[in-house]
Structure 1
Amino acid sequence: MRIEQLEYLEAIVKTGSINEAAKNLYLTQPSLSNALKELEKEIGIQILVRSKLGVSLTDDGREFMIYARQILDNVHLLEERYQKQSPRKQALSISAQHYAFVVHAFVELIRGVNTEEYQFTLRETETQNILEDLTAFKSELGVLYLNNFNKQVLEKLFKENDLVFTPLFVAQPHVFVGAHNPLIGKKYVTLEDLEEYPYLSYEQGERNSFYFSEEILSTLDRKKNIKVSDRATIFNLMVGLNGYTISSGIISSELNDDKIVAIPLKVEDTMTLGWLKHHKLELSPLAKEYLEILKQHIEGFGFEIVE
């Protein structure tokens, strides 16, 4: 296997066309096709599916590209260090439940990137989508929580999908409410205190299982229920309707959360928030840097990182 073969493959994937990639590489279409066939034969998998509309990666091809890009990243780092070539465009994709600390760390990471070009993706999405993104190598990292209720089911899914969960910190559940909610000023709230307020939760799509819920105590029967799909909407409903949701307690005033207040919820439960990755994937330097920023941000809110 040669570095140039991986570079050829990357060009094909980027353009979605062997013809276009050949033009960009100043190669003939047959020579590029032959190079790809040789690579597929050598590693024993089909990397691309060819059609009239172009080419796309197979499942095996997506996994192969994860490793190929890591190799190319390291090659370009060597070239940048010793040949003074322009740096390779940095890329990172993250899929997460709806947490402000995830976004805040993402912002800090990008602010610190010293390059003119980059490709970053942050998906605040449904729990099932996080697992699917990691399994398909669409994202390098995932962030979600476990507790006594969902742990057994989710850990079974992690195992089935070759995913590894690493704890970050343990949080006591908090209720998020608007800054003018009548509950403000209480040292803590109980479930009884919340009975007359609208309960806000994130929808989980077609597989709306209680085990995929982003909020603990998802099986409780509530008088008023509102499902939402994004943090901006849930915050607006907290302010506009005196609604509430249940989360970790971390609020980022730097990211427009200043109208929201966290109040401890008096229940016998905890949330273990952590990150996920595919066990076959070695984290990129950028992903490792993001995790360090994430940990620093979490510690800044007074939480102890699980070692």
Structure 2
Amino acid sequence: MRIKQLDYIVKIVELGSINEAAKHLFITQPSLSTAVKELELEMGIQIFQRTQRGMILTTEGTEFLSYARQILEQVDLMEEKYKGTETRRRLFSVSAQHYAFAVHAFVQLIKSYEKNEYEFTFRETQTNNIIEDVSTFQSELGILYLNTFNEKVIRKLLKEKQLIFHPLFTAQPHVFVSKKNPLVGKTSVTLSDLENFPYLSFEQGQFNSFHFSEEILSTLYHKKSIRVSDRATLFNFLIGLDGYTISSGVLSRELNDENIVALPLEVDEVMEIGWIHPAQMSLSPMGEEYLRYLKEHIIDYGFTILTNE
């Protein structure tokens, strides 16, 4: 078994395609296929199931990937210590609901590696995609929320995908509005206060179930409703249309538009925001580092990190 073969396995999993992996590795597809088959033969396991949709990890392959990543991380640490040089591009991916604090932590992580070669991916995406990305190892971890309404459905799906939810913090629901919105100045707002304002939410594609919504109270009827696919567009509509959206209330001072403010929403609901990760794998050092930045940022905004993981 060679270190290079472990690199090949990790790259195939990250890209979900042996053809794409071969392009990124600058080798031919037949050469990559042969290297994988030789490794499978040597280890006496089948790492990948070859399907029309691409290369899918088997149960044995999932366990092997966990060991492969740990070996590669240790090799990196040894080479940094004794060679004093970077020999491998830093690779890291996160999938998340549309939370600015998650982006801010990712920015901090990237800055800590600005002298290195790296290939980082941050996917602000739909709820089901987050779960799928993490379960197929396209992302090392995912960030989403649970509450009394969606918890049963989401936890069932996580269990099926062999993922674990780790709570980070709880938040009382807030509404994001433009600082010019007539409601600004109130200490809190009610649902009746919001009745005549356009309601903005993130679309969930073919999984547009109430349980996959990024916003609590997703079953409520709204006179005026607008779905969007990205956070920048949502904020533009908040400002341009005096609209509102429901979220955790955590706004990044560095990354969010200064024209957006958060107002407490008077409802008997709590959001538990956390991260998901494959049950059979431990976080990489880079994953641990990102999680540390994430927690620091959350604490900076006055929230208490939950410790009952």
Q: Distance in 2 between matches of 1:87 and 1:105?
A: 25
For structure 2, the 5+ residue unaligned runs are 13-17
* 1:203-251, Cα deviation, whole Å (9 max, x unpaired): 0001100000000000001101000000001000000000000000011
Q: Is the 8 A contact 1:198 1:241 kept in 2?
A: yes
Q: Is the 8 A contact 1:147 1:272 kept in 2?
A: yes
Q: For residue 57 of structure 1, what is the amino acid of its counterpart?
A: M
Q: Distance in 1 between matches of 2:51 and 2:176?
A: 50
Q: Distance in 2 between matches of 1:57 and 1:16?
A: 13
Q: For residue 282 of structure 2, what is the amino acid of its counterpart?
A: E
Q: For residue 261 of structure 2, what is the amino acid of its counterpart?
A: V
Higher radius of gyration, 1 or 2: 1
Moved more, 209-218 or 37-46: 37-46
Match of 1:126 in 2: 126
Q: What RMSD, in angstroms, separates the aligned Cα atoms of the two structures?
A: 2.7
Q: Tell me how many residue pairs correspond in the alignment.
A: 298
Q: Distance in 2 between matches of 1:99 and 1:9?
A: 31
Q: Is the 8 A contact 1:252 1:258 kept in 2?
A: no
Q: Distance in 1 between matches of 2:242 and 2:8?
A: 56
Match of 1:44 in 2: 45
Match of 1:297 in 2: 297
Match of 2:244 in 1: 244
Identity of aligned residues (%): 54
* 1:150-206, Cα deviation, whole Å (9 max, x unpaired): 011111111111000000000000010001000000010000000000000000001
State the shift of 1:75 in Å. Answer: 1.3
Q: Is the 8 A contact 2:134 2:277 kept in 1?
A: yes
- Determine helix, strand or coil for the equivalent of 2:211: helix
Q: Distance in 2 between matches of 1:62 and 1:241?
A: 50
Match of 1:155 in 2: 155
Q: For residue 244 of structure 1, what is the amino acid of its counterpart?
A: Y
Q: Distance in 1 between matches of 2:33 and 2:104?
A: 44
* 1:255-284, Cα deviation, whole Å (9 max, x unpaired): 132110100000001100000001122111
State the shift of 1:116 in Å. Answer: 2.8
Q: For residue 59 of structure 1, what is the amino acid of its counterpart?
A: L
Q: Is the 8 A contact 1:91 1:118 kept in 2?
A: yes
Q: Distance in 2 between matches of 1:169 and 1:222?
A: 29
- Determine helix, strand or coil for the equivalent of 2:165: strand
Change (3 A) 1:273 1:33: closer
Q: Is the 8 A contact 1:134 1:142 kept in 2?
A: yes
- Determine helix, strand or coil for the equivalent of 1:192: coil
Q: Which runs of 4+ in 1 moved over 6 A?
A: none
Q: Distance in 1 between matches of 2:301 and 2:226?
A: 29
Q: Is the 8 A contact 2:100 2:256 kept in 1?
A: no
Match of 1:26 in 2: none
Q: Distance in 2 between matches of 1:303 and 1:50?
A: 45
Change (3 A) 1:62 1:237: farther
Q: Is the 8 A contact 1:101 1:298 kept in 2?
A: yes
- Determine helix, strand or coil for the equivalent of 1:92: strand
After the TM superposition, which residues 107-122 of structure 1 pair with which residues of structure 2 at under 5 Å, given as runs? 107-122=107-122
Q: For residue 278 of structure 1, what is the amino acid of its counterpart?
A: P
Match of 2:15 in 1: none
Match of 1:288 in 2: 288
Q: Distance in 2 between matches of 1:62 and 1:260?
A: 46
Say whether 1:260 aligns with 2:260.
yes
State the shift of 1:35 in Å. Answer: 5.0
Moved more, 64-73 or 220-229: 64-73
Q: For residue 57 of structure 2, what is the amino acid of its counterpart?
A: D
Match of 2:205 in 1: 205
- Determine helix, strand or coil for the equivalent of 1:295: helix
Q: Give the TM-score, by structure 1 length.
A: 0.88
For structure 1, the 5+ residue unaligned runs are 24-28
Q: Is the 8 A contact 2:201 2:215 kept in 1?
A: yes
- Determine helix, strand or coil for the equivalent of 2:220: coil
Say whether 1:179 aligns with 2:185.
no
